[in-house]
Each structure stands twice: as structure tokens, then as C-alpha cells.
Amino acid sequence: MNFNTRRVTLPAITPLCLQKRVIKVYNEDNTSRAVEVPTDITARDICQLFVMKNHCIDDHSWTLFEHLSHLGIERTIEDHESVMEVLSGWGMDTESRLYFRKNYAKYEFFNKPLDFFPDDMVSLSSETNGIMDHSQLIQTFLNSSTCPEIHGHLHAKEQGRKSWKKFYFVLRRSGLYFSNKGTSKEPRHLQFIAEFSDGDVYTLLSAKKIHGAPTDYGFCVKSTKRGSPRDLKLLCADDEQTRTCWVTAMRLFKYGLQLYQNFIQPHQKQKASPMRSISENSLVAMDFSGHKSRVIENPSEALSVAVEEGLSWRRKSCHRLSSHGSPSTSQSPMSNIALHMAQPWFHSKLSRDEAHRLITQQGLIDGVFLLRDSQSNPKTFVLSLCHTQRIKHFQILPVDDEGDLFYSLDDGHTRFTDLIQLVEFYQLNRGVLPCKLKHHCARITL
């Protein structure tokens, strides 16, 4: 019996790691860049790619954000998350975007947990409501066998209504609850709101304008399976510190030890690298006036030395050499403008509100700053600085001294020939500021 045989060629199966897809990533000024990436790429991989392509300094603060403009919400995409899984949740929606920008606050709670978790909002989830030892706070969150608890009042938007109502909320490993009887935590009074195994926490953009919230410190829990506005669990805090506490705790409950691994991974690579790293703790006040150098430990003495150093910089600046090698006793205003205009921390025509928004986007931690033109006085500049999760604005005044132009933050007591000197000084010395300048807000063109 004869059989007709035919060779069948099966299509080649491409391994997942070799499959490619084109994605588009935006930055703060809404310029974008399309790149072809493997389908198994993570958020950290995307950040590393753009850091290299744009020759940025990799200080581990670059972050990928998921921005859902049709819902008015956004969130940090955690470094280990699959970008393709995030994109798959968008469906056919074209208003959703990936943003690449800095977020200095992404892991700051590992360094300074007390700044993120106020005493009156954290306790042990127990019948006695015992207060937690804050020195072990982060370890308690990371340990799955322990039960920390976040509690406090929040505004919640009532389902199917435009009104918001204030309730007492409790956050535990099992999920988010609110009490239907005052501040009672008894099981019969707690009503379940959301869990985090199939949901993510987002911040609300323009919470008062878009969602009618009582304040602009809004956030929400969104299910990864449902994306309509009516499925959002909309919440609102009375201040930024309260919102930060709830959002950070939800991230820790959802990802736990994975967040800590994300935090330490770059530092482990840095230890193995021969490149030199500088931390803020390595910058200390020193006295070199004697035969031996010494560390200045007295804060009052350190402040006095800082002021004297500023005056010393002023005297030295008068003897700078010009481009021809001769001493120059005055600086051209145009040369000063050219100097600071090229700096990444200077943002020229930025308004006060825009500066506030940019610093908020890049992380409300101590020392995040930028410099900009003053809109009320064209001849002056403004230093916008974050301290204790609040943004403060300090005017930089020009000082004319016998024809020489200087800049000062303290009514002329400490003077600088240009803004670069001023920034470098306050990066090392607090002076009249509430904290030292640590992290500058940067914008890049993709």
C-alpha cells in the first residue's frame, strides 16, 4: 500500500527573550522617543537604556511612570515589573503613557523611615493596639510573619456619587478597611475596601479639579483587571505626609522584600564597580588651619566656618583670572548668565506653580531643589527647595559692591560671584537654608 508523504515545515518558535516590541516613552516636556526592546524587559532595564542613550548620571533615581490621563492618575512602575505586563493592561487606550523622569523619593523610606511613617499613624495590629518600635519599622513591613498597621482618617468618594465623606481607615496585610463606627477597629465594625494582590496604588493628578476631592492629596487603588473610572477606590488625605504614609505602606504590603531587593541591587553593583561614589555622609566640615586637620563636630562652630568660607569665596572671586590671564575684578553680567543657564538645576522661565509641580514629581524629600528666574522681579532669581515634604522658595538677590555684582541668599552677608558658586556652597553648607542642597531637579530631552 502506497502512502503519499509530505514534508511539513513548522514555524520557528522565537524565545520570549528574543522577541521585540516598539514602545514610546515620554519625558516632562512631553517629547517622546520610540525604542525597540525585548518583550521581557523590566522598568529598571528601560531606565538604564535611557540613562545610557542620554548620557545621564545614573544616581539610581531614574524611574518609569505609568500615566493614565483619561483617569487622571499615575504611579511609579517598580523596577522589577515587566513593562509589557503594564502595557497589556491598557487595552486599546491611546491616552496612557510611559514617562521617564527622576523620583528621589522612590526608596527614601529605607533610609529615613521616620520621615514617612508618623508615630500616630503606625501601630501593631493587635487587640492591645501597642505602639510599634520605629527602629524596626521597615523590618516589620518586610517580615511576612508580622502585622504592622496604618490607621487614620481619610476622605473617600462614595460609590456612584460626587460627594466625599470622611472615615477612619485601617491598612493591614489582608487589605484596606474603613470603620462604620467612629475609630473602632472591632471586626464587626470594619468593612473591606480593597486588597493589593490584583491592584496597584496611584496618585491622583489634580484631585480637586478632576475628581472633586476636598484636597489635592489624593490617591486611589485600581484593580489590574478593571480600568473604568467607577472601579477606582478614590481616597484623599489632608496633607502630603499623610498621603505619602498610606501610599508607601501599600507599596510595602504589595511587594514586601522585593522592594528592598530593588533598593540594594544598584548599590551592590556599585560596590563591585571601581568607580568612586560620593554619599552625603562623606561630606563633613573640616578645619585645616592647624598643623593637623580635624573634623568639626560642634554645629555652631561648623555654621560659623560655613559663613566665613562664603566670605572667603567672595574675596577670592575678586582675583579670578580673565580669559587672557590677567586679574579680573569684575564679572560680566552676560558671562554670569551664560554660566548658570547651562546648568541642569537651572530652569529659566519656570513659574512658581510649575516649580512646585516639578519638585513634587521628582520626589518630596529633603534637599530636592532647582533655581529659576523670579517672575515678580526680573533682576533676581529664586531657589525652590523641599524640606519636610514642603516646598519653600528663597529669593536670590543681586548685590552691587562698588561696581562688582554678587548674588546672596542672606541680604549680602554671604556673597557669590555667580549662581554656580552659590549652589556649590549650599550643597556643602546649610547656612540660612533649612537643609543642604542634595538633589537637583533635572529635565532631559529624549
DSSP notation for 192-229: EEE-STTEEEEEETTHHHHH--SSS-EEEEEESS--SG
The lowest-confidence range among 40-49, 248-257, 304-313, 423-432 is 304-313
Cell of 414: 554671604
Query: What pLDDT is recorded for position 320?
Result: 41
Tell me the mean pLDDT in the region 64-81: 95
Give the Cα separation of 302 and 195 in Å (integer). 50
Query: What pLDDT is recorded for position 198?
Result: 84
Give the Cα separation of 408 and 399 in Å (integer). 7
Query: What pLDDT is recorded for position 339?
Result: 76
Residue 338 pLDDT level (bands cut at 50, 70, 90): low
pLDDT tens-digit map of 94-109: 689 999 999 999 999 9
* % of the chain at pLDDT higher than 70: 77
Per DSSP, the residues of 96-136 read EEEEEEE-TTSSHHHH-HHHHS-GGGEEESSTT-PPP-GGG
**Region class of 402: left (phi > 0), else alpha (psi between -120 and 50), else beta:** left
Using only C-alpha atoms, the chain has a radius of gyration, in whole angstroms, of 26
Helix (H) or strand (E) holding 407: strand 404-408
Pairing, β 368-373 against β 439-440: parallel
Is the pLDDT confidence value at 231 over 80?
A: yes
pLDDT tens-digit map of 111-127: 999 889 998 999 865 53
Mean model confidence pLDDT for the chain: 83
Give the Cα separation of 141 and 210 in Å (integer). 33
Is the pLDDT confidence value at 435 over 80?
A: yes
Query: What pLDDT is recorded for position 148?
Result: 85
* % of the chain at pLDDT higher than 90: 57
Q: List all residues 6 or more positions away from 104 whose beta carbon is below 8 Å from its beta carbon.
A: 61, 362, 363, 365, 368, 439
Residue 322 pLDDT level (bands cut at 50, 70, 90): very low
Tell me the mean pLDDT in the region 272-287: 49
Residue 327 pLDDT level (bands cut at 50, 70, 90): very low
Q: What is the DSSP letter of 184?
A: -
Smallest Cα–Cα separation from 215: which of 233, 232, 237?
237
Smallest Cα–Cα separation from 122: which of 133, 108, 106?
133
Tell me the mean pLDDT in the region 211-226: 91
Give the Cα separation of 323 and 203 in Å (integer). 51
The lowest-confidence range among 40-44, 91-95, 314-318 is 314-318
Pairing, β 96-102 against β 20-26: parallel
Is the pLDDT confidence value at 4 over 60?
A: no
Amino acid identity of 400?
D
Cell of 30: 512631553
Residue 273 pLDDT level (bands cut at 50, 70, 90): very low
CA distances from 310 to 26, 314, 381, 421, 437 (A): 40, 6, 19, 9, 15
Give the Cα separation of 380 and 408 in Å (integer). 10
Q: Please tell me whether residue 258 adopts helix, strand or coil conformation.
A: helix
Residue 276 pLDDT level (bands cut at 50, 70, 90): very low
The lowest-confidence range among 120-134, 316-330, 346-360 is 316-330
Residue 84 pLDDT level (bands cut at 50, 70, 90): very high
Judge whether 287 and 294 are in contact, CB under 8 Å: yes
Residue 374 pLDDT level (bands cut at 50, 70, 90): very high
pLDDT tens-digit map of 186-216: 999 999 999 888 899 999 999 999 999 999 9
Tell me the mean pLDDT in the region 412-429: 94
Edge-to-edge order in the sheet of strand 390-401:
404-408, 390-401, 381-387, 368-373, 439-440
Is the pLDDT confidence value at 408 over 90?
A: yes
Query: What's the burial of 200, exposed, middle or buried (CB within 10 Å: 0-12/13-18/19+)?
Result: buried
Amino acid identity of 405?
L
What length is written for the chain?
Answer: 446
Per DSSP, the residues of 25-83 read EE-TTS-EEEEEEETT-BHHHHHHHHHHHTT----S-EEEEEEETTTTEEEEEPTTSBH
Is the pLDDT confidence value at 311 over 70?
A: no
